[in-house]
């Protein structure tokens, strides 16, 4: 991957500033650098569309905020974009710098830590060392690049048995006057029996400047703990987004991950999940709505390592314009992972002649006595339904919207947290009716607050 060498050089030049981070972070750099050097020599190892796309994404010479300059941001405009009627524990990451809000500091319950990753690395180094980069482990070029360059991030920690009622909402915002890459990093740990809800929102406040978010998320769900994560991506038309999501679930641990890509230029996500403890349960849901020249890639690599785990996946894409979508869904059932129950569906709706969808479900089963199913379909809106609606006076555009909403309904309906479910329904409707999600528009609307 040719694009990497410019970052390797950048690191060499700016090493002194970049390594001005607490030791648990700085200590990760040498390995990441070695890994990147190897990746930079290689071409397209696997999942070709992903690696080729990543190479292209990294190609432009983005700036990084190495000097940790502060950018002005109108936080009040951003806050209005958030989820109304949910009082969340809110933290904002501006470009790649975490800023807790006053209300977060005031309202954070006993047993929950939400803070900047550098602060955590300095204050509780042994905890951070135990987890940080142990899952991502420089396994892909984008993850290694993040590890080489990130200077801040967010740390969320729920202590043993702590059940956090209010969702923790982490909002990523881009706002810089020049093209910028933000290596974002999130580390989540739910100790035994803890439960936690996270709402991750991505916004960019400008449509005209190229931004690249290269994000690594690591989630540890310990025994009988539960983590629910909802993501909503509403980035601007020039924002590119790479997500490397890694999760490890211990015995009886539950993970719900529901991702919603509503607008972006290019968004490539890989969800790597290891069901490592018996009885663990994973529920993945994904919704992608793309149009114009947008590209959205979702890869799942889910591994059943031990007996008696269950996983479900339901990913849906609605593509129009010249947009491209790709879904790669790999389920690995390791030897000995008996009584595994894994189901995967990927359904896609193509609403224009120029939209393209690639889907590649993949099962690797090294064990008998398992239940695995997968199914993928790609089709168009039902022309009979469309005509039926129009014959009753429903204008074509509205009929298409209603049918697309109906297509997505089960992903949204499967969200058990009602306030987020209702909000998503609104966002989907707004998105499908052609209103661009933008902070400016939302501020004008002035309906939601935090």
Of 317, 121, 145, 174, the residue nearest 244 (C-alpha): 145
Can you read off the two tokens belonging to residue 233? 């991506």
Among residues 16 and 392, whose Cβ is nearest to another protein? Answer: 392
Among residues 63 and 395, whose Cβ is nearest to another protein? Answer: 395
Can you read off the two tokens belonging to residue 417? 């947290």
Beta-carbon contacts of 163 under 8 Å, excluding residues fewer than 6 positions away, are 194, 195
Residue 245's beta-bridge partner residues?
Answer: 217, 271
383 binds another protein, rule: CB under 8 A: yes
* Only segment of 21-29, 85-93, 138-146, 403-411 that touches another protein (CB under 8 A): 403-411
Among residues 72 and 384, whose Cβ is nearest to another protein? Answer: 384
396 binds another protein, rule: CB under 8 A: yes
Of 170, 156, 154, the residue nearest 82 (C-alpha): 170
Can you read off the two tokens belonging to residue 306? 């031990």
Q: Tell me how far apart the alpha carbons of residues 109 and 344 are, in angstroms, rounded to a whole number.
A: 36
366 binds another protein, rule: CB under 8 A: no
Among residues 391 and 446, whose Cβ is nearest to another protein? Answer: 391
353 binds another protein, rule: CB under 8 A: no
> Which residue in the set 405, 414, 417, 430 belongs to the binding site for another protein (CB under 8 A)?
405
Restricted to residues 232-251, the positions that interact with another protein (CB under 8 A) are: none
Q: Tell me how far apart the alpha carbons of residues 207 and 224 are, in angstroms, rounded to a whole number.
A: 43
Between the CA atoms of 142, 147, 149 and 151, what dihedral angle is there, to the nearest 10 degrees? 130
Among residues 366 and 387, whose Cβ is nearest to another protein? Answer: 387
From the CB of 379, what's the least distance to another protein, in Å?
A: 13
C-alpha triplet 133, 184, 242: angle, nearest 5°: 95
352 binds another protein, rule: CB under 8 A: no
Among residues 25 and 408, whose Cβ is nearest to another protein? Answer: 408
Among residues 59 and 382, whose Cβ is nearest to another protein? Answer: 382
From the CB of 6, what's the least distance to another protein, in Å?
A: 47
387 binds another protein, rule: CB under 8 A: yes
Alpha carbon of 349 to those of 169, 262, 364, 408, 431: distances in Å? 30, 15, 27, 10, 16
Angle between helix axes 141-149 and 48-58 (nearest 10 degrees) is: 30
* Only segment of 182-190, 203-211, 225-233, 380-388 that touches another protein (CB under 8 A): 380-388
End-to-end CA distance of the chain: 43
390 binds another protein, rule: CB under 8 A: yes
From the CB of 8, what's the least distance to another protein, in Å?
A: 50
What residue has token string 């800023």? Answer: 99
407 binds another protein, rule: CB under 8 A: yes
119 binds another protein, rule: CB under 8 A: no
> Which residue in the set 67, 391, 446, 447 belongs to the binding site for another protein (CB under 8 A)?
391
Collapsed DSSP state (helix, strand, coil) of residue 54 = helix
Residues of this chain that interact with another protein (CB under 8 A) are: 382-385, 387-396, 398-399, 402-403, 405-407, 409-410
């Amino acid at each position: 991957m040719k694009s990497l060498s410019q970052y390797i050089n950048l690191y060499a030049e700016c090493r002194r500033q970049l390594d001005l981070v607490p030791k648990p972070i700085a200590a990760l750099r040498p390995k990441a650098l070695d890994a990147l050097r190897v990746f930079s020599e290689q071409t397209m190892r696997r999942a070709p569309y992903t690696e080729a796309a990543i190479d292209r994404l990294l190609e432009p010479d983005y700036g990084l905020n190495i000097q940790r300059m502060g950018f002005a941001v109108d936080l009040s405009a951003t806050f209005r974009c958030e989820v109304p009627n949910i009082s969340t524990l809110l933290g904002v990451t501006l470009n790649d710098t975490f800023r807790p809000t006053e209300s977060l500091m005031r309202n954070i319950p006993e047993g929950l830590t939400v803070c900047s990753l550098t602060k955590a690395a300095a204050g509780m180094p042994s905890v951070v060392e135990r987890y940080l980069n142990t899952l991502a482990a420089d396994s892909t070029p984008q993850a290694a690049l993040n590890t080489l360059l990130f200077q801040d991030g967010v740390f969320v920690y729920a202590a043993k048995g702590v059940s956090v009622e209010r969702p923790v909402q982490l909002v990523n915002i881009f706002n810089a006057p020049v093209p910028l890459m933000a290596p974002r990093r999130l580390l989540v740990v739910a100790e035994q029996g803890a439960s936690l809800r996270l709402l991750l929102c991505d916004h960019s406040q400008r449509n005209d400047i190229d931004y690249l978010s290269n994000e690594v998320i690591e989630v540890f769900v310990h025994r009988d703990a539960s983590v629910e994560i909802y993501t909503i991506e509403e980035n601007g038309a020039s924002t590119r987004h790479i997500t490397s999501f890694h999760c490890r679930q211990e015995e009886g641990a539950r993970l719900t991950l529901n991702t919603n890509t509503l607008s972006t230029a290019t968004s490539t996500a890989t969800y790597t999940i290891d069901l490592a403890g018996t009885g663990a349960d994973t529920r993945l849901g994904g919704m992608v709505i793309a149009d114009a020249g947008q590209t959205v890639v979702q890869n799942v690599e889910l591994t059943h390592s031990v007996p008696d785990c269950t996983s479900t996946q339901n990913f849906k894409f609605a593509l129009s314009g010249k947009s491209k979508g790709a879904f790669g869904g790999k389920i690995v059932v390791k030897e000995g992972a008996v009584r595994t129950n894994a189901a995967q569906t990927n359904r896609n709706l193509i609403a224009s002649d120029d939209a393209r969808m690639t889907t590649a479900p993949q099962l690797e089963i090294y064990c008998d006595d398992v239940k695995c199913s997968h199914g993928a379909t790609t089709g168009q809106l039902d022309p009979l339904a469309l005509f039926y609606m129009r014959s009753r006076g429903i204008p074509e555009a509205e009929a298409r919207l209603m049918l697309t909403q109906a297509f997505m309904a089960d992903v949204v309906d499967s969200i058990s947290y009602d306030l987020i479910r209702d909000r998503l329904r609104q966002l989907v409707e707004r998105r499908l009716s052609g209103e661009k999600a933008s902070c400016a528009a939302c501020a004008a609307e002035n309906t939601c607050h935090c």
